């Protein structure tokens, strides 16, 4: 085969197998807009589920409130990950000075949803004096299952690639679970206890915004952002 | 330009075909050269793996996990089949079991209720092919995979072979699953050498047998073929901490201390019997129940029980399971210390005992299983095997080892039994009955733990009855203990699935204690009692066999483990 044929075939092969090609260009954004709003539960929210603690009660207590669905008094859903799905140019990624911290305290993961830029090294702490293990399920990044007994106070893990939703569980304490979000760009937010979120310094343009909740699933909205303008969304999510 | 167009179209098409499941089969088959033409031995392979493998081994080499569970070991069938000019007598034996004098001690069951003569001949043809293959096919990875792996793992290794639904644990999807037994770091795939080790060693008493008998060349070929299904890490390259050959510097007592501090007991239990507080809640990455290993039973350790395998498993964890890696937690010396401690927990796998001694225990009651006399007596290990004599047969018994002592005091004659069980099951759940019909549903039901002792009087030359217990004219006496039941039952058994209650249970007591993943049971009778002297005549030559049902695995009815008949002689009393 001629070289050019070979190269074309190789490119075709690459495209057929769908290797995603995207890179983010971060810099200064002048006159950016804002996307903000609240995510509310459609209908009557169920009461928060309680889980009975079955072991290590001295450290873990008797009962835990399940973080799988937390809805506030006015219907706001906590812990919804809001992000612009595809954006190639915008504000610079905010890389924090210290590593993101993921703690195991009172047999709960804190925070329940951890957001960080791809490539970060996470400091995993064991603040309880008992055995936990950090067991991830992940597709883009290598998954791992690392024991963390009481004498290993800090474990460090680097997550190289962007990934939307790495699940973290502790096998020793079945109710413990959390999610890691490895960001490919800075336009990610987490709703607070009232369901409120805000994405600032968004360059003017049309975007798709995705709302993801671990129990309620995904929802997308299309928005148009204008310079110095604010887009306010009220998103309803329901059990399906 | 036409070449360009054609080449890129083909590549694009292949890309679509591979990424959309429907057409993957024929596309990949063509790519890897697995023949689409019908394998004439395909049906025989399913029958052999289903009925014969658990004793005779996956290539009939007499190396199945239960080959030595019964008094006559399961033989290597390959020379037997090769030497036979006429296969009809062998087929007869498969269908009707051994005849005549051989009947007594031979564990070979009769399979006539599930196999036809034609199927028997097909199985013998398959065994014949195992011998032929070792000469000709030793480097043909895809062909070997089709012959030995596809029955469970599926023709493309996706864990969907014809036998997959019957096996617990289920055969892996080799194209997607996490590989557990590796010398690489947590989250990383296996090396070629890891695959070879796993295939040769087999995985304990699961459906994945030991394929060492295929020969190293053949196993290498299969492992190389696996590299086309999944990502295999190059053999050279950065090793993990476990690869360091050190270990001489660890302090012997450190192991126990580390086991406690690192809380290995959380899953594996204080005595290592797999009964830790977390044992019942663990799930693997496929959402199936994942039981922590019983470290005292080395033959059941899937990752290998030798010290090197233990170090590797502890350091690297088992991908896809709750077993985490400790490589970043322990130093190399500490890894070796823990591994050595775990190795020290291992018990020796018992061979079928020639006979059981009867101890004189002096005065006092023997009914308490934790009494000092029992703790000091030297028990005899008794192995148990699968119940493969009546349908439904049960090829994956949960309990395959018991420690026994028989003793006579001035008041009682007593049988002390101890066996490992992760979970204490004292109740019968009402909805169990319908689930019981499908033995392939693991862990969805709870039935009682039970144990039965069968007793029979034998002649002085010690000719033993057939393993399947009583027959149409020769009942055996059975004492049955059920956890949580008020009293033990005395029954008469006319065959493994035929028992009738007897009157006269007075005087038979059962006392059981469950502690640290172990049942200890004493079945006792008052010795100076007419019924006792009738059942267990002074000076008599007797034999006993054991049946054990493990409740959490849904063992009920004919789903139990079974021991050979073990002779014992009662003293005059």
Q: What are the chain B neighbours of A1 within 8 Å (beta carbons)? A: 3, 7
Q: What are the chain B neighbours of A8 within 8 Å (beta carbons)? A: 4, 7-8
Chain A touched by B96 (CB under 8 Å):
no
- Measured in degrees and rounded to the nearest 5, phi and psi for residue B182 equal -145, 165
Neighbours of A140 (CB within 10 A): 14
Rounded to 5, what percent of chain A is helix, strand, coil? 10, 45, 45
Q: What is the pLDDT of residues B252-298, one digit of tens each?
A: 688 999 999 999 999 999 999 999 988 888 888 888 888 999 999 99
| Site from A144, A150, A151, A160 to mutate, B interface, most B CB atoms within 10 angstroms | A144
Chain A touched by B31 (CB under 8 Å):
no
**Closest by Cβ to A149, choosing from B185, B263, B318:** B263
CA-to-CA separations, A21 to A14, A15, A24, B416, in angstroms, rounded = 11, 10, 10, 69
Chain B touched by A158 (CB under 8 Å):
no
B15/A5 Cβ within 8 A: no
Complex-level ipTM: 0.74
Residue A165 three-state SS = strand
A19: closest chain B residue by CA: B15
Q: What is the mean pLDDT of residues B157-172?
A: 92
Per-residue pLDDT for B461 more than 90? no
* pLDDT > 70 fraction of chain A, expressed in percent and rounded: 91
A172: closest chain B residue by CA: B278
CA–CA min distance A79, chain B (Å): 24
- Residue B437 binned pLDDT confidence (cut-offs 50, 70, 90): very low
Give residue B566's pLDDT: 92
CA-to-CA separations, A101 to A112, A175, B329, B353, B566, in angstroms, rounded = 12, 20, 19, 59, 62
Q: Tokens in use for A148?
A: 């963390």
Q: What is the pTM of this model?
A: 0.84
**Closest by Cβ to A143, choosing from B7, B187, B282:** B187
Tell me how many helices (H) and strands (E) chain B has: 18, 14
* Terminal-to-terminal C-alpha distance of chain A: 54
Give residue B38's pLDDT: 76
Per-residue pLDDT for B198 more than 60? yes
Nearest to B569 by CA among B410, B458, B478, B493: B458
**Closest by Cβ to B328, choosing from A9, A146, A173:** A146
Chain A from 14 to 73: CB within 8 A of any B CB:
15-18, 54-55
A131: closest chain B residue by CA: B263
**Closest by Cβ to B15, choosing from A4, A16, A54:** A16
CA–CA min distance A71, chain B (Å): 28
Which residues are CB-neighbours of B539 under 8 A, at least 6 positions away?
Answer: B569, B570, B571, B572
**Closest by Cβ to B262, choosing from A55, A137, A147:** A147
Look at strands B561-562 and A113-117 and give their pairing: unpaired
Does B522 or B531 have the greater pLDDT score?
A: B522
Q: Are A93 and A185 in contact (CB under 8 A)?
A: yes
Chain A touched by B323 (CB under 8 Å):
yes
* A168-182, B224-238, B352-366: range with lowest mean pLDDT: B224-238
Per-residue pLDDT for B247 more than 70? no
Place of tokens 């990949």: B28
d(CA B401, CA B519): 12
* B31-45, B276-290, B481-495: range with lowest mean pLDDT: B31-45
Give residue A45's pLDDT: 84
Q: Tokens in use for B506?
A: 């007075």
Give residue B107's pLDDT: 77
CA B519 to chain centre: 19
Neighbours of A126 (CB within 10 A): 21
d(CA B377, CA B371): 10
Give me the half-sphere count of Cα atoms (radius 13 Å) on the Cβ side of residue B60.
23
Q: What are the chain B neighbours of A122 within 8 Å (beta carbons)? A: none
Per-residue pLDDT for B237 more than 80? no
Nearest to B535 by CA among B486, B496, B502, B487: B502
- Measured in degrees and rounded to the nearest 5, phi and psi for residue A121 equal -105, 125
Q: What are the chain B neighbours of A137 within 8 Å (beta carbons)? A: 285
**Closest by Cβ to A9, choosing from B8, B326, B329:** B8
Chain A touched by B245 (CB under 8 Å):
no
d(CA A124, CA A157): 8
Nearest to B429 by CA among B392, B484, B480: B484
Q: Tokens in use for B546?
A: 């054991």
Chain B touched by A85 (CB under 8 Å):
no
Residue A101 three-state SS = strand
Element (H, E) at B225: helix B216-226
Give residue B2's pLDDT: 53
Which residues are CB-neighbours of B375 under 8 A, at least 6 positions away?
Answer: none
Does B462 or A180 have the greater pLDDT score?
A: A180
Place of tokens 């510097």: B249
**Closest by Cβ to A151, choosing from B7, B261, B318:** B261
Q: What are the chain A neighbours of B188 within 8 Å (beta carbons)? A: 142
CA–CA min distance B286, chain A (Å): 11
CA–CA min distance A99, chain B (Å): 19
B322/A135 Cβ within 8 A: yes
A145/B186 Cβ within 8 A: yes
A12/B187 Cβ within 8 A: no
Place of tokens 């996490």: B178
A148/B263 Cβ within 8 A: no
How does B57-92 read in b/e, with b if 16+ C-beta sit within 10 Å? bbbbbbbbbbbbbbbbbbebbbeebeeeeeeeebbb
> Ranked by mean pLDDT, which of A9-18, B235-244, B553-562 comes out on top?
B553-562
A with B: how many residue pairs have Cβ under 8 Å apart?
Answer: 104
Q: Tokens in use for A100?
A: 């993101």
* B6-20, B250-264, B382-396, B446-460: range with lowest mean pLDDT: B6-20
Nearest to B138 by CA among B221, B199, B227: B221
Radius of gyration, CA atoms only, chain B:
26
Chain B touched by A147 (CB under 8 Å):
yes
CA-to-CA separations, B121 to A173, A200, B89, B91, in angstroms, rounded = 53, 76, 11, 6
Give residue B10's pLDDT: 53
Chain B touched by A131 (CB under 8 Å):
yes
Give me the half-sphere count of Cα atoms (radius 13 Å) on the Cβ side of residue A141.
26
Positive or negative torsion for Cα A186, A190, A192, A198: positive
Residue B532 three-state SS = helix
Q: What are the chain B neighbours of A175 within 8 Å (beta carbons)? A: none
B324/A146 Cβ within 8 A: yes
Q: Are A148 and A131 in contact (CB under 8 A)?
A: yes
Per the DSSP assignment, residues forming a β-bridge with A91 are A27
Per-residue pLDDT for A239 more than 80? yes
């Amino acid at each position: 085969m001629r070289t050019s044929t070979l190269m074309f075939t190789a490119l075709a092969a690459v495209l057929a197998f769908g290797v995603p090609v995207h890179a983010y260009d971060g810099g200064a954004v002048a006159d950016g807009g804002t996307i903000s709003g609240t995510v509310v539960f459609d209908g009557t929210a169920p009461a928060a589920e309680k889980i009975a603690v079955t072991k290590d009660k001295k450290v873990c207590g008797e009962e835990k409130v399940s973080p799988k669905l937390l809805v506030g008094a006015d219907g706001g859903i906590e812990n919804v990950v809001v992000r612009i799905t595809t954006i190639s140019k915008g504000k610079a990624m905010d890389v924090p000075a210290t590593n993101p911290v993921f703690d195991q305290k009172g047999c709960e993961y804190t925070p329940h949803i951890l957001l960080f830029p791809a490539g970060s090294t996470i400091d995993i702490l064991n603040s309880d004096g008992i055995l936990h293990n950090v067991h991830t399920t992940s597709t883009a990044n290598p998954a791992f299952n690392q024991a963390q007994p009481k004498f290993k106070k800090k474990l460090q893990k680097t997550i190289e690639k962007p990934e939307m939703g790495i699940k973290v569980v502790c096998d020793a304490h079945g109710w413990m679970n959390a999610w890691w979000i490895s960001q490919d760009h800075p336009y990610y937010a987490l709703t607070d206890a009232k369901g409120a979120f805000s994405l600032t310094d968004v360059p003017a343009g049309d975007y798709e915004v995705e709302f993801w909740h671990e129990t309620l699933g995904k929802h997308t909205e299309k928005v148009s952002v204008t310079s110095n303008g604010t887009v306010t969304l009220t998103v309803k999510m329901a059990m399906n | 330009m036409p070449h360009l167009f054609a080449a890129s179209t083909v590549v694009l098409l292949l890309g679509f075909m591979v990424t959309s499941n429907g057409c993957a089969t024929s596309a990949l088959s063509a790519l890897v050269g697995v023949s689409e033409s019908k394998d004439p031995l395909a049906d025989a392979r399913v029958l052999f793996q289903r009925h014969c493998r658990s004793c005779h081994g996956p290539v009939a080499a007499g190396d199945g996990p239960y080959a030595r569970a019964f008094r006559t070991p399961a033989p290597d069938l390959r020379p037997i089949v090769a030497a036979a000019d006429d296969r009809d007598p062998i087929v007869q034996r498969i269908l009707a079991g051994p005849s005549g004098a051989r009947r007594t001690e031979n564990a070979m069951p009769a399979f006539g209720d599930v196999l036809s003569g034609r199927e028997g001949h097909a199985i013998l043809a398959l065994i014949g092919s195992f011998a032929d293959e070792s000469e000709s096919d030793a480097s043909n990875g895809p062909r070997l995979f089709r012959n030995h792996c596809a029955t469970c793992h599926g023709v493309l290794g996706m864990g969907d072979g014809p036998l997959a639904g019957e096996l617990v644990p289920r055969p892996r999807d080799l194209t997607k699953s996490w590989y557990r037994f590796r010398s690489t770091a947590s989250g990383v795939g296996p090396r070629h050498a890891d695959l070879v080790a796993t295939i040769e060693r087999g995985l304990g008493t699961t459906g994945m047998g030991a394929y060492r008998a295929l020969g190293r060349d053949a196993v290498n070929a299969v492992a190389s073929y696996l590299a086309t299904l999944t990502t295999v890490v190059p053999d050279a390259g950065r090793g993990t901490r476990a690869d360091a050959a050190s270990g001489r510097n660890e302090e012997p007592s450190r192991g126990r201390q580390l086991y406690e501090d690192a809380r290995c007991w959380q899953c594996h239990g204080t005595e290592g019997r797999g009964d830790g507080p977390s044992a019942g809640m663990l799930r693997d990455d496929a959402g199936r129940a994942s039981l922590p290993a019983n470290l005292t039973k080395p033959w059941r350790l899937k990752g290998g029980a030798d010290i090197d395998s233990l170090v590797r498993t502890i350091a690297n964890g088992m991908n896809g399971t709750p077993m985490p890696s400790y490589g970043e937690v322990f130093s190399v010396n500490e890894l070796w210390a823990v591994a050595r401690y775990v190795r020290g927990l291992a018990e020796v796998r018992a061979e079928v005992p020639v006979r059981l001694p009867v101890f004189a225990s002096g005065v006092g009651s023997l009914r308490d299983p934790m009494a000092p006399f029992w703790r000091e007596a030297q028990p005899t290990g008794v192995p148990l095997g699968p119940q493969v004599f009546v349908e439904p047969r049960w090829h994956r018994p949960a309990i395959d080892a018991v420690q026994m002592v028989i003793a006579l005091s001035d008041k009682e004659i007593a049988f002390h039994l101890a066996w490992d069980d992760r979970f204490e099951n004292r109740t019968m759940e009402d909805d169990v009955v319908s689930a019981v019909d499908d033995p392939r549903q693991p862990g969805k039901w709870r039935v009682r733990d039970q144990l039965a002792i069968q007793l029979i009087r034998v002649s002085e030359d010690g000719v033993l009855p057939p393993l399947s217990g009583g027959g149409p004219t020769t009942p055996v006496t059975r004492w049955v203990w059920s956890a949580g039941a008020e009293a033990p039952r005395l029954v008469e058994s006319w065959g493994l699935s035929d028992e009738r209650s007897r009157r006269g249970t007075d005087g038979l007591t059962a006392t059981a204690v469950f502690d640290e993943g172990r049942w200890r049971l004493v079945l006792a009778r008052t010795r100076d009692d007419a019924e006792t002297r009738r059942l267990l005549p002074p000076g008599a030559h007797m034999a006993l066999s054991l049946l054990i049902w493990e409740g959490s695995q849904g063992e009920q009815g004919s789903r139990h483990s079974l021991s050979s008949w073990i002779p014992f002689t009662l003293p005059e009393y």
